[in-house]
Structure 1
Amino acid sequence: MARALPVAAVQAAPRPAGGPLAGFAADVEGVARRVPQAQLLVYPELHLHGGAATAEEYRAVAEPLSGPRLRDLAALAGDLGVWLVPGSVCELGPGGELYDTAVVLSPEGQLAASYRKVFPWRPHEPFDAGDAFVVFDLPGVGRAGLTVCYDAWFPEVTRHLAWMGAEVVLNVVKTTTCDRPQEVVLARAHAIMNQVFVVSVNAAGPEGTGQSVIVDPEGLVRVHAATDATVLTDVLDLDHVPRVRTYGTVGLTRPWAPFRPGDPPLALPLYAGRIDPDTWTPAATPVT
Protein backbone atom coordinates (compact mmCIF):
# COMPACT_ATOMS: atom_id res chain seq x y z
CA MET A 1 0.00 0.00 0.00
CA ALA A 2 2.23 2.79 -1.31
CA ARG A 3 -0.12 5.64 -0.32
CA ALA A 4 -1.59 4.51 2.96
CA LEU A 5 -3.51 6.96 5.13
CA PRO A 6 -4.27 5.58 8.61
CA VAL A 7 -7.33 7.43 9.97
CA ALA A 8 -9.03 7.73 13.35
CA ALA A 9 -12.55 9.18 13.04
CA VAL A 10 -13.75 10.15 16.50
CA GLN A 11 -17.51 9.92 16.99
CA ALA A 12 -17.93 11.85 20.22
CA ALA A 13 -20.44 14.05 22.00
CA PRO A 14 -19.81 17.81 21.65
CA ARG A 15 -17.74 19.54 24.30
CA PRO A 16 -19.23 22.56 26.14
CA ALA A 17 -18.96 25.82 24.24
CA GLY A 18 -16.39 28.19 25.67
CA GLY A 19 -14.81 25.52 27.86
CA PRO A 20 -11.04 25.14 28.20
CA LEU A 21 -9.24 23.19 25.51
CA ALA A 22 -7.47 21.04 28.09
CA GLY A 23 -10.22 18.39 28.06
CA PHE A 24 -10.23 18.19 24.29
CA ALA A 25 -6.43 18.04 24.19
CA ALA A 26 -6.49 15.14 26.65
CA ASP A 27 -9.02 13.32 24.45
CA VAL A 28 -6.92 13.83 21.32
CA GLU A 29 -3.82 12.67 23.17
CA GLY A 30 -5.71 9.59 24.35
CA VAL A 31 -6.83 8.71 20.82
CA ALA A 32 -3.30 9.21 19.50
CA ARG A 33 -1.98 6.95 22.24
CA ARG A 34 -4.56 4.21 21.62
CA VAL A 35 -4.21 4.40 17.83
CA PRO A 36 -0.54 5.30 17.42
CA GLN A 37 -0.48 4.48 13.70
CA ALA A 38 -3.17 7.07 12.89
CA GLN A 39 -1.80 9.96 10.84
CA LEU A 40 -5.14 11.81 10.57
CA LEU A 41 -7.60 12.41 13.44
CA VAL A 42 -11.05 13.76 12.58
CA TYR A 43 -13.76 15.05 14.96
CA PRO A 44 -17.40 16.08 14.31
CA GLU A 45 -18.80 19.47 13.31
CA LEU A 46 -18.81 22.19 16.01
CA HIS A 47 -17.30 19.67 18.41
CA LEU A 48 -15.90 22.43 20.63
CA HIS A 49 -19.17 24.39 20.75
CA GLY A 50 -21.66 22.05 22.38
CA GLY A 51 -24.77 23.65 23.85
CA ALA A 52 -24.68 26.72 21.59
CA ALA A 53 -27.71 27.15 19.35
CA THR A 54 -28.41 30.83 18.65
CA ALA A 55 -26.42 33.40 16.72
CA GLU A 56 -25.65 35.18 19.99
CA GLU A 57 -24.37 32.00 21.65
CA TYR A 58 -22.19 31.09 18.68
CA ARG A 59 -20.92 34.65 18.33
CA ALA A 60 -19.92 34.64 22.00
CA VAL A 61 -17.39 31.86 21.31
CA ALA A 62 -16.37 32.90 17.77
CA GLU A 63 -12.76 33.83 17.07
CA PRO A 64 -10.80 34.73 13.95
CA LEU A 65 -8.58 31.95 12.68
CA SER A 66 -5.61 33.94 13.93
CA GLY A 67 -6.97 33.73 17.48
CA PRO A 68 -5.73 31.79 20.52
CA ARG A 69 -8.01 28.77 19.96
CA LEU A 70 -6.46 27.95 16.59
CA ARG A 71 -2.95 28.62 17.90
CA ASP A 72 -3.52 26.14 20.71
CA LEU A 73 -5.03 23.54 18.36
CA ALA A 74 -2.13 23.93 15.96
CA ALA A 75 0.34 23.47 18.81
CA LEU A 76 -1.52 20.31 19.87
CA ALA A 77 -1.25 18.82 16.37
CA GLY A 78 2.42 19.77 16.23
CA ASP A 79 3.18 18.24 19.63
CA LEU A 80 1.55 14.96 18.57
CA GLY A 81 2.90 15.02 15.01
CA VAL A 82 -0.50 14.30 13.46
CA TRP A 83 -2.95 15.83 11.02
CA LEU A 84 -5.82 17.07 13.17
CA VAL A 85 -9.32 18.07 12.06
CA PRO A 86 -10.95 19.17 15.35
CA GLY A 87 -14.31 19.35 13.62
CA SER A 88 -15.45 22.83 12.66
CA VAL A 89 -15.17 26.00 14.72
CA CYS A 90 -17.09 29.27 14.98
CA GLU A 91 -15.03 31.68 12.92
CA LEU A 92 -15.40 35.43 13.29
CA GLY A 93 -14.87 36.81 9.80
CA PRO A 94 -13.00 40.03 8.99
CA GLY A 95 -16.26 41.91 8.46
CA GLY A 96 -18.01 40.48 11.50
CA GLU A 97 -19.38 37.45 9.62
CA LEU A 98 -20.09 34.26 11.55
CA TYR A 99 -18.85 31.13 9.77
CA ASP A 100 -19.01 27.41 10.50
CA THR A 101 -15.45 26.62 9.46
CA ALA A 102 -13.68 23.27 9.21
CA VAL A 103 -9.98 23.55 9.98
CA VAL A 104 -6.99 21.30 9.39
CA LEU A 105 -3.87 21.48 11.56
CA SER A 106 -0.66 19.94 10.26
CA PRO A 107 1.91 17.75 12.03
CA GLU A 108 4.20 20.79 11.87
CA GLY A 109 1.79 22.76 14.03
CA GLN A 110 0.40 24.98 11.26
CA LEU A 111 -3.06 25.81 9.97
CA ALA A 112 -2.98 23.80 6.74
CA ALA A 113 -6.50 24.51 5.45
CA SER A 114 -9.80 26.10 6.40
CA TYR A 115 -13.20 25.72 4.76
CA ARG A 116 -16.28 27.85 5.45
CA LYS A 117 -19.47 25.81 5.18
CA VAL A 118 -21.08 26.73 1.87
CA PHE A 119 -24.54 25.41 2.72
CA PRO A 120 -25.61 26.25 6.29
CA TRP A 121 -28.70 24.29 7.32
CA ARG A 122 -31.19 27.09 6.87
CA PRO A 123 -33.41 28.30 8.42
CA HIS A 124 -32.11 26.47 11.49
CA GLU A 125 -28.46 27.64 11.54
CA PRO A 126 -27.38 31.27 11.96
CA PHE A 127 -24.12 31.05 10.00
CA ASP A 128 -23.06 33.04 6.97
CA ALA A 129 -22.32 31.02 3.84
CA GLY A 130 -18.81 30.41 2.55
CA ASP A 131 -17.98 30.92 -1.10
CA ALA A 132 -15.17 28.52 -2.01
CA PHE A 133 -14.39 24.80 -2.12
CA VAL A 134 -11.20 23.70 -0.35
CA VAL A 135 -8.73 20.86 -0.82
CA PHE A 136 -5.37 20.34 0.86
CA ASP A 137 -2.37 18.12 0.27
CA LEU A 138 -1.01 15.48 2.62
CA PRO A 139 2.60 15.35 1.39
CA GLY A 140 3.65 11.92 0.21
CA VAL A 141 0.10 10.58 0.49
CA GLY A 142 -2.47 12.49 -1.54
CA ARG A 143 -5.10 15.21 -1.46
CA ALA A 144 -8.19 15.62 0.72
CA GLY A 145 -11.25 17.84 0.52
CA LEU A 146 -13.49 19.29 3.23
CA THR A 147 -17.26 19.43 3.62
CA VAL A 148 -19.40 20.33 6.63
CA CYS A 149 -22.62 18.46 7.43
CA TYR A 150 -25.43 19.80 5.19
CA ASP A 151 -22.95 20.33 2.33
CA ALA A 152 -23.35 16.58 1.76
CA TRP A 153 -26.91 17.14 0.53
CA PHE A 154 -25.59 19.05 -2.49
CA PRO A 155 -23.78 16.96 -5.12
CA GLU A 156 -21.96 20.00 -6.50
CA VAL A 157 -19.71 20.20 -3.45
CA THR A 158 -18.16 16.75 -3.54
CA ARG A 159 -18.07 16.77 -7.34
CA HIS A 160 -15.95 19.94 -7.31
CA LEU A 161 -13.63 18.59 -4.61
CA ALA A 162 -13.04 15.43 -6.66
CA TRP A 163 -12.48 17.55 -9.78
CA MET A 164 -9.93 19.58 -7.79
CA GLY A 165 -8.03 16.36 -7.11
CA ALA A 166 -9.39 15.21 -3.76
CA GLU A 167 -9.12 11.46 -3.25
CA VAL A 168 -10.74 11.49 0.18
CA VAL A 169 -13.51 13.81 1.35
CA LEU A 170 -13.72 14.57 5.07
CA ASN A 171 -17.32 15.36 6.00
CA VAL A 172 -17.62 16.62 9.59
CA VAL A 173 -21.19 16.40 10.85
CA LYS A 174 -23.41 17.35 13.78
CA THR A 175 -26.70 15.72 12.88
CA THR A 176 -29.10 15.45 15.81
CA THR A 177 -32.17 14.60 13.73
CA CYS A 178 -33.77 11.48 12.28
CA ASP A 179 -32.33 11.96 8.76
CA ARG A 180 -28.90 10.54 9.50
CA PRO A 181 -29.74 7.28 7.62
CA GLN A 182 -30.29 9.39 4.50
CA GLU A 183 -26.89 11.03 5.04
CA VAL A 184 -25.27 7.60 5.13
CA VAL A 185 -26.85 6.91 1.75
CA LEU A 186 -25.51 10.24 0.50
CA ALA A 187 -22.00 9.41 1.72
CA ARG A 188 -22.09 6.21 -0.30
CA ALA A 189 -23.56 8.01 -3.31
CA HIS A 190 -20.84 10.68 -3.28
CA ALA A 191 -18.18 7.98 -3.06
CA ILE A 192 -19.70 6.07 -5.98
CA MET A 193 -20.37 9.07 -8.24
CA ASN A 194 -16.95 10.63 -7.71
CA GLN A 195 -14.82 7.54 -7.00
CA VAL A 196 -13.39 8.95 -3.77
CA PHE A 197 -13.16 7.84 -0.16
CA VAL A 198 -15.69 9.54 2.12
CA VAL A 199 -15.11 9.85 5.86
CA SER A 200 -18.33 11.16 7.43
CA VAL A 201 -17.96 11.76 11.17
CA ASN A 202 -21.09 12.60 13.17
CA ALA A 203 -21.54 13.60 16.79
CA ALA A 204 -22.34 10.80 19.23
CA GLY A 205 -25.45 10.39 21.33
CA PRO A 206 -27.29 11.55 23.25
CA GLU A 207 -27.09 14.85 21.34
CA GLY A 208 -25.95 13.48 17.99
CA THR A 209 -27.34 10.51 16.10
CA GLY A 210 -23.97 8.92 15.31
CA GLN A 211 -23.78 6.45 12.43
CA SER A 212 -20.39 7.71 11.28
CA VAL A 213 -19.11 5.91 8.20
CA ILE A 214 -15.99 5.38 6.13
CA VAL A 215 -16.79 4.54 2.51
CA ASP A 216 -14.40 3.41 -0.22
CA PRO A 217 -14.28 4.75 -3.82
CA GLU A 218 -16.65 2.02 -5.01
CA GLY A 219 -19.27 2.86 -2.39
CA LEU A 220 -18.56 -0.05 -0.05
CA VAL A 221 -18.91 0.80 3.65
CA ARG A 222 -15.67 -0.13 5.37
CA VAL A 223 -16.70 0.95 8.89
CA HIS A 224 -20.14 1.97 10.22
CA ALA A 225 -20.70 3.07 13.82
CA ALA A 226 -23.84 2.89 15.91
CA THR A 227 -24.93 5.87 18.04
CA ASP A 228 -22.62 5.80 21.06
CA ALA A 229 -19.20 7.39 21.33
CA THR A 230 -16.53 5.38 19.53
CA VAL A 231 -13.44 5.70 17.36
CA LEU A 232 -13.59 4.38 13.83
CA THR A 233 -10.20 3.29 12.53
CA ASP A 234 -9.16 2.38 9.02
CA VAL A 235 -6.23 2.57 6.63
CA LEU A 236 -7.23 4.23 3.38
CA ASP A 237 -5.33 3.01 0.33
CA LEU A 238 -5.42 6.16 -1.79
CA ASP A 239 -4.03 4.21 -4.75
CA HIS A 240 -7.51 2.68 -4.88
CA VAL A 241 -8.75 5.97 -6.37
CA PRO A 242 -6.70 6.05 -9.60
CA ARG A 243 -7.13 2.28 -9.88
CA VAL A 244 -10.93 2.40 -9.82
CA ARG A 245 -10.97 5.40 -12.14
CA THR A 246 -8.81 3.52 -14.61
CA TYR A 247 -10.60 0.16 -14.51
CA GLY A 248 -14.05 1.25 -13.37
CA THR A 249 -16.22 0.64 -10.34
CA VAL A 250 -16.43 -3.16 -9.97
CA GLY A 251 -14.32 -3.22 -13.13
CA LEU A 252 -17.06 -1.60 -15.23
CA THR A 253 -18.16 1.99 -14.75
CA ARG A 254 -15.91 5.03 -15.24
CA PRO A 255 -17.93 8.21 -14.56
CA TRP A 256 -14.86 10.42 -15.08
CA ALA A 257 -14.44 9.17 -18.66
CA PRO A 258 -17.80 9.71 -20.41
CA PHE A 259 -16.61 11.90 -23.28
CA ARG A 260 -14.95 11.24 -26.61
CA PRO A 261 -12.79 13.72 -28.54
CA GLY A 262 -14.98 16.22 -30.34
CA ASP A 263 -18.03 15.81 -28.10
CA PRO A 264 -19.88 19.13 -27.78
CA PRO A 265 -20.06 21.05 -24.51
CA LEU A 266 -23.19 20.53 -22.43
CA ALA A 267 -25.03 23.65 -21.26
CA LEU A 268 -25.86 23.85 -17.55
CA PRO A 269 -28.66 26.42 -17.37
CA LEU A 270 -28.98 26.05 -13.61
CA TYR A 271 -25.46 27.44 -13.17
CA ALA A 272 -25.31 29.69 -16.23
CA GLY A 273 -22.34 27.55 -17.25
CA ARG A 274 -21.47 24.34 -19.04
CA ILE A 275 -19.56 21.06 -18.91
CA ASP A 276 -16.67 21.21 -21.35
CA PRO A 277 -15.29 17.76 -22.27
CA ASP A 278 -11.82 19.32 -22.58
CA THR A 279 -11.82 20.31 -18.89
CA TRP A 280 -13.86 17.46 -17.37
CA THR A 281 -10.97 15.27 -16.16
CA PRO A 282 -10.10 15.65 -12.44
CA ALA A 283 -6.86 17.34 -11.49
CA ALA A 284 -3.91 15.06 -10.95
CA THR A 285 -3.00 14.68 -7.30
CA PRO A 286 0.60 15.69 -6.65
CA VAL A 287 2.45 13.26 -4.40
CA THR A 288 5.81 14.58 -3.20
Structure 2
Amino acid sequence: MFPEIHLLGASDGAADTGSYFDAVAEPLTGPLVRALGAVAVDAGVWLLPGSIAERGEDGRVYNTALVFDPDGRLVSSYRKVFPWRPHEPWASGAGFTAFDVPGVGRMGVNICYDSWFPEATRQIAWLGAEVVFNIVKTTSDDRAQELVLARANAITNQIYYLSVNAAGPLGRGQSIYVGPEGEVLAQAAHAEPEVTHLTIDLDQVTAVRTRGTAGVNRMWEQLHADDDPIELPAYAGQLVHQRWQPQPVDPEGRS
Protein backbone atom coordinates (compact mmCIF):
# COMPACT_ATOMS: atom_id res chain seq x y z
CA MET A 1 0.00 0.00 0.00
CA PHE A 2 1.45 3.31 -1.14
CA PRO A 3 0.17 6.92 -0.94
CA GLU A 4 -1.98 8.83 -3.40
CA ILE A 5 -0.43 9.61 -6.85
CA HIS A 6 2.77 8.03 -5.54
CA LEU A 7 4.06 7.28 -9.05
CA LEU A 8 3.33 10.62 -10.71
CA GLY A 9 6.33 12.59 -9.52
CA ALA A 10 6.49 15.95 -7.77
CA SER A 11 3.56 17.52 -9.58
CA ASP A 12 3.37 20.18 -6.86
CA GLY A 13 5.98 22.20 -8.74
CA ALA A 14 4.04 22.23 -12.00
CA ALA A 15 2.71 25.61 -13.06
CA ASP A 16 -0.50 23.93 -14.22
CA THR A 17 -1.21 20.62 -12.48
CA GLY A 18 -4.19 19.99 -14.75
CA SER A 19 -1.94 20.03 -17.81
CA TYR A 20 0.65 17.93 -15.99
CA PHE A 21 -1.83 15.17 -15.13
CA ASP A 22 -3.39 15.38 -18.58
CA ALA A 23 0.02 14.74 -20.13
CA VAL A 24 0.75 11.62 -18.05
CA ALA A 25 -2.77 10.14 -17.98
CA GLU A 26 -3.39 6.76 -19.55
CA PRO A 27 -6.27 4.26 -19.65
CA LEU A 28 -6.44 1.20 -17.41
CA THR A 29 -5.24 -0.85 -20.39
CA GLY A 30 -2.07 1.24 -20.61
CA PRO A 31 1.58 0.30 -20.02
CA LEU A 32 1.77 1.61 -16.44
CA VAL A 33 -1.10 -0.60 -15.30
CA ARG A 34 0.44 -3.62 -17.05
CA ALA A 35 3.80 -2.89 -15.42
CA LEU A 36 2.21 -2.64 -11.97
CA GLY A 37 0.50 -5.98 -12.49
CA ALA A 38 3.89 -7.48 -13.28
CA VAL A 39 5.30 -6.01 -10.05
CA ALA A 40 2.55 -7.76 -8.07
CA VAL A 41 3.41 -11.05 -9.78
CA ASP A 42 7.14 -10.67 -9.17
CA ALA A 43 6.60 -9.87 -5.49
CA GLY A 44 3.81 -12.42 -5.02
CA VAL A 45 1.68 -9.89 -3.12
CA TRP A 46 -1.56 -7.96 -3.20
CA LEU A 47 -0.52 -4.49 -4.36
CA LEU A 48 -2.16 -1.10 -3.86
CA PRO A 49 0.38 1.15 -5.60
CA GLY A 50 -1.29 4.43 -4.70
CA SER A 51 -3.29 6.04 -7.50
CA ILE A 52 -2.65 7.04 -11.09
CA ALA A 53 -3.93 9.61 -13.56
CA GLU A 54 -6.51 7.57 -15.46
CA ARG A 55 -7.73 8.64 -18.88
CA GLY A 56 -11.41 7.72 -18.80
CA GLU A 57 -13.49 6.56 -21.72
CA ASP A 58 -15.03 10.03 -21.71
CA GLY A 59 -11.61 11.64 -22.17
CA ARG A 60 -11.56 13.14 -18.68
CA VAL A 61 -8.74 12.51 -16.19
CA TYR A 62 -9.49 10.72 -12.92
CA ASN A 63 -7.44 10.12 -9.77
CA THR A 64 -7.79 6.33 -9.70
CA ALA A 65 -6.63 3.84 -7.08
CA LEU A 66 -5.69 0.36 -8.29
CA VAL A 67 -5.60 -3.02 -6.54
CA PHE A 68 -3.75 -6.01 -8.01
CA ASP A 69 -3.79 -9.62 -6.81
CA PRO A 70 -0.65 -11.81 -6.68
CA ASP A 71 -1.42 -13.06 -10.21
CA GLY A 72 -1.19 -9.51 -11.51
CA ARG A 73 -4.91 -9.11 -12.17
CA LEU A 74 -6.45 -5.69 -11.67
CA VAL A 75 -9.19 -6.70 -9.24
CA SER A 76 -10.43 -3.23 -8.32
CA SER A 77 -10.18 0.36 -9.47
CA TYR A 78 -11.70 3.34 -7.73
CA ARG A 79 -11.99 6.90 -9.03
CA LYS A 80 -11.72 9.57 -6.33
CA VAL A 81 -15.26 10.83 -5.75
CA PHE A 82 -14.35 13.98 -3.83
CA PRO A 83 -11.38 15.79 -5.45
CA TRP A 84 -9.91 18.49 -3.22
CA ARG A 85 -11.66 21.43 -4.85
CA PRO A 86 -10.77 24.07 -5.85
CA HIS A 87 -7.17 22.93 -5.52
CA GLU A 88 -7.23 19.76 -7.67
CA PRO A 89 -8.13 19.41 -11.36
CA TRP A 90 -9.47 15.82 -11.30
CA ALA A 91 -12.83 14.80 -12.69
CA SER A 92 -15.05 13.35 -9.97
CA GLY A 93 -15.74 9.63 -9.80
CA ALA A 94 -19.34 8.46 -9.64
CA GLY A 95 -19.40 5.57 -7.16
CA PHE A 96 -17.73 3.42 -4.53
CA THR A 97 -16.37 -0.12 -4.70
CA ALA A 98 -15.26 -3.02 -2.52
CA PHE A 99 -13.30 -6.16 -3.36
CA ASP A 100 -12.79 -9.59 -1.83
CA VAL A 101 -9.43 -11.03 -0.82
CA PRO A 102 -10.12 -14.79 -0.83
CA GLY A 103 -9.64 -16.37 2.57
CA VAL A 104 -9.27 -12.98 4.23
CA GLY A 105 -12.23 -10.63 3.79
CA ARG A 106 -13.70 -7.69 1.93
CA MET A 107 -11.89 -4.39 1.59
CA GLY A 108 -12.29 -0.99 -0.01
CA VAL A 109 -10.32 2.11 -0.93
CA ASN A 110 -10.91 5.81 -0.67
CA ILE A 111 -8.57 8.65 -1.53
CA CYS A 112 -7.44 11.56 0.64
CA TYR A 113 -10.24 14.19 0.74
CA ASP A 114 -12.87 11.44 0.57
CA SER A 115 -12.27 10.99 4.30
CA TRP A 116 -13.82 14.41 4.98
CA PHE A 117 -17.19 13.18 3.70
CA PRO A 118 -18.72 10.58 6.05
CA GLU A 119 -20.97 9.30 3.27
CA ALA A 120 -17.92 7.93 1.43
CA THR A 121 -16.70 5.53 4.10
CA ARG A 122 -20.25 4.66 5.13
CA GLN A 123 -21.04 3.51 1.60
CA ILE A 124 -17.87 1.40 1.37
CA ALA A 125 -18.62 -0.18 4.74
CA TRP A 126 -22.21 -0.80 3.62
CA LEU A 127 -20.80 -2.68 0.63
CA GLY A 128 -19.31 -5.06 3.20
CA ALA A 129 -15.75 -3.75 3.53
CA GLU A 130 -14.14 -4.56 6.86
CA VAL A 131 -11.00 -2.60 5.98
CA VAL A 132 -10.82 0.75 4.19
CA PHE A 133 -7.48 1.84 2.78
CA ASN A 134 -7.27 5.64 2.73
CA ILE A 135 -4.41 6.66 0.43
CA VAL A 136 -3.35 10.27 0.89
CA LYS A 137 -1.05 12.99 -0.38
CA THR A 138 -1.61 15.75 2.14
CA THR A 139 0.94 18.54 1.88
CA SER A 140 -1.07 21.07 3.91
CA ASP A 141 -1.59 21.78 7.60
CA ASP A 142 -4.86 19.85 7.81
CA ARG A 143 -3.18 16.48 8.35
CA ALA A 144 -3.91 17.08 12.05
CA GLN A 145 -7.64 17.03 11.30
CA GLU A 146 -7.26 13.99 9.05
CA LEU A 147 -5.87 12.00 11.98
CA VAL A 148 -9.11 12.73 13.84
CA LEU A 149 -11.16 11.81 10.78
CA ALA A 150 -9.36 8.46 10.46
CA ARG A 151 -10.48 7.51 13.95
CA ALA A 152 -13.98 8.87 13.36
CA ASN A 153 -14.38 6.88 10.15
CA ALA A 154 -13.26 3.72 11.93
CA ILE A 155 -15.51 4.29 14.96
CA THR A 156 -18.71 5.21 13.14
CA ASN A 157 -18.46 2.25 10.76
CA GLN A 158 -16.77 -0.28 13.09
CA ILE A 159 -14.03 -1.06 10.57
CA TYR A 160 -10.27 -0.91 10.22
CA TYR A 161 -9.25 2.41 8.67
CA LEU A 162 -5.67 2.56 7.37
CA SER A 163 -4.57 6.03 6.25
CA VAL A 164 -1.21 6.24 4.46
CA ASN A 165 0.08 9.73 3.68
CA ALA A 166 2.99 10.80 1.48
CA ALA A 167 6.23 11.42 3.34
CA GLY A 168 8.30 14.60 3.29
CA PRO A 169 9.55 16.82 1.91
CA LEU A 170 6.23 17.31 0.08
CA GLY A 171 3.85 15.27 2.23
CA ARG A 172 3.17 15.71 5.93
CA GLY A 173 3.50 11.98 6.67
CA GLN A 174 1.93 10.85 9.96
CA SER A 175 0.31 7.75 8.50
CA ILE A 176 -2.18 6.23 10.95
CA TYR A 177 -3.75 2.78 11.30
CA VAL A 178 -6.96 2.53 13.32
CA GLY A 179 -8.97 -0.43 14.64
CA PRO A 180 -12.77 -0.86 14.62
CA GLU A 181 -13.24 0.83 18.02
CA GLY A 182 -11.09 3.79 17.06
CA GLU A 183 -7.97 2.48 18.74
CA VAL A 184 -4.71 3.65 17.15
CA LEU A 185 -2.79 0.51 16.20
CA ALA A 186 0.22 2.33 14.78
CA GLN A 187 1.11 5.87 13.76
CA ALA A 188 4.08 7.57 12.17
CA ALA A 189 5.17 10.39 14.43
CA HIS A 190 6.69 12.56 11.71
CA ALA A 191 7.01 13.12 7.97
CA GLU A 192 10.15 11.05 7.42
CA PRO A 193 9.85 8.08 5.02
CA GLU A 194 9.22 4.75 6.72
CA VAL A 195 7.82 1.28 6.08
CA THR A 196 5.15 -0.05 8.45
CA HIS A 197 4.22 -3.70 8.93
CA LEU A 198 0.89 -4.36 10.63
CA THR A 199 -1.06 -7.52 11.40
CA ILE A 200 -4.81 -7.12 11.81
CA ASP A 201 -7.57 -9.57 12.78
CA LEU A 202 -10.71 -9.05 10.73
CA ASP A 203 -12.70 -11.14 13.18
CA GLN A 204 -12.48 -8.09 15.43
CA VAL A 205 -14.87 -6.27 13.10
CA THR A 206 -17.53 -8.92 13.68
CA ALA A 207 -16.74 -9.01 17.40
CA VAL A 208 -17.09 -5.25 17.82
CA ARG A 209 -20.32 -5.13 15.84
CA THR A 210 -21.73 -8.01 17.90
CA ARG A 211 -20.84 -6.79 21.39
CA GLY A 212 -20.93 -3.10 20.52
CA THR A 213 -18.23 -0.44 20.53
CA ALA A 214 -17.05 -0.09 24.14
CA GLY A 215 -19.51 -2.89 24.82
CA VAL A 216 -22.56 -0.71 24.21
CA ASN A 217 -22.93 0.83 20.73
CA ARG A 218 -24.31 -1.28 17.85
CA MET A 219 -24.88 1.28 15.12
CA TRP A 220 -25.53 -1.24 12.35
CA GLU A 221 -28.49 -2.61 14.35
CA GLN A 222 -30.03 0.81 14.91
CA LEU A 223 -33.01 0.57 12.55
CA HIS A 224 -35.93 -1.77 13.32
CA ALA A 225 -38.62 -3.20 11.07
CA ASP A 226 -41.31 -1.04 12.67
CA ASP A 227 -39.34 2.21 12.28
CA ASP A 228 -40.69 4.71 9.79
CA PRO A 229 -38.35 5.56 6.90
CA ILE A 230 -36.07 8.47 7.78
CA GLU A 231 -36.24 11.20 5.17
CA LEU A 232 -32.90 12.47 3.86
CA PRO A 233 -33.79 15.38 1.59
CA ALA A 234 -30.14 16.30 1.06
CA TYR A 235 -29.77 12.99 -0.80
CA ALA A 236 -33.29 12.83 -2.27
CA GLY A 237 -33.70 9.52 -0.44
CA GLN A 238 -34.49 7.67 2.77
CA LEU A 239 -32.95 5.43 5.41
CA VAL A 240 -34.99 2.23 5.64
CA HIS A 241 -34.33 -0.74 7.88
CA GLN A 242 -34.28 -3.28 5.03
CA ARG A 243 -31.20 -1.65 3.50
CA TRP A 244 -29.35 -0.42 6.56
CA GLN A 245 -27.01 -3.28 7.46
CA PRO A 246 -23.80 -3.99 5.48
CA GLN A 247 -23.91 -6.35 2.55
CA PRO A 248 -22.87 -9.91 3.42
CA VAL A 249 -19.30 -10.89 2.61
CA ASP A 250 -18.88 -13.56 -0.07
CA PRO A 251 -18.35 -16.88 1.76
CA GLU A 252 -15.32 -17.45 -0.45
CA GLY A 253 -13.84 -14.22 0.86
CA ARG A 254 -13.35 -15.46 4.40
CA SER A 255 -11.59 -18.49 5.77
Q: Name which of 151, 154, 161 aligns with 1:188.
A: 151
Matched residues in 1 for 2:154 and 2:75: separation? 24
Q: Name which of 201, 210, 215 aligns with 2:173.
A: 210
Q: Which amino acid aligns with 1:51?
A: A
Bigger RCO (CA 8 Å, 6+ sep): 1
Decide whether the 8 Å contact of 1:77 with 1:106 is kept in 2.
Answer: yes
Q: Which is further off, 52-61 or 126-135?
A: 52-61
Deviations 1:211-242 (A, max 9, x none): 10110000000000021101121111001011
What's the offset of the Cα at 1:140? 0.7
Match of 1:27 in 2: none
Where in structure 1 are there 5+ consecutive unaligned residues?
1-41
Aligned runs of 1:111-260 on 2, under 5 Å? 111-225=74-188, 226-260=190-224
Q: How many residues are aligned here?
A: 247
RMSD (Å) for aligned C-alpha atoms: 0.8
Aligned runs of 1:66-145 on 2, under 5 Å? 66-145=29-108
Q: What percent of counterpart residues are identical?
A: 53
Q: Which amino acid aligns with 1:264?
A: D
TM normalised by structure 2 equals 0.95
Does 1:44 find its partner at 2:3?
yes
What's the offset of the Cα at 1:259? 2.0
Decide whether the 8 Å contact of 2:83 with 2:113 is kept in 1.
Answer: yes
Matched residues in 2 for 1:212 and 1:51: separation? 19
Decide whether the 8 Å contact of 1:44 with 1:87 is kept in 2.
Answer: yes
SS in 2 for 1:114: strand
After TM superposition, the runs of 4+ consecutive aligned structure 1 residues lying more than 6 A away are: none
Matched residues in 2 for 1:69 and 1:260: separation? 48
What's the offset of the Cα at 1:260? 2.4
Decide whether the 8 Å contact of 1:141 with 1:287 is kept in 2.
Answer: no
Decide whether the 8 Å contact of 2:45 with 2:69 is kept in 1.
Answer: yes
Match of 2:227 in 1: 263
What's the offset of the Cα at 1:94? 1.2
Matched residues in 1 for 2:250 and 2:211: separation? 21
Q: Which amino acid aligns with 1:233?
A: H
TM normalised by structure 1 equals 0.84
Decide whether the 8 Å contact of 2:223 with 2:240 is kept in 1.
Answer: no
Q: Which is further off, 195-204 or 72-81?
A: 72-81
Deviations 1:10-58 (A, max 9, x none): xxxxxxxxxxxxxxxxxxxxxxxxxxxxxxxx00000011222411111
Q: Which amino acid aligns with 1:218?
A: E
SS in 2 for 1:96: coil
SS in 2 for 1:84: coil
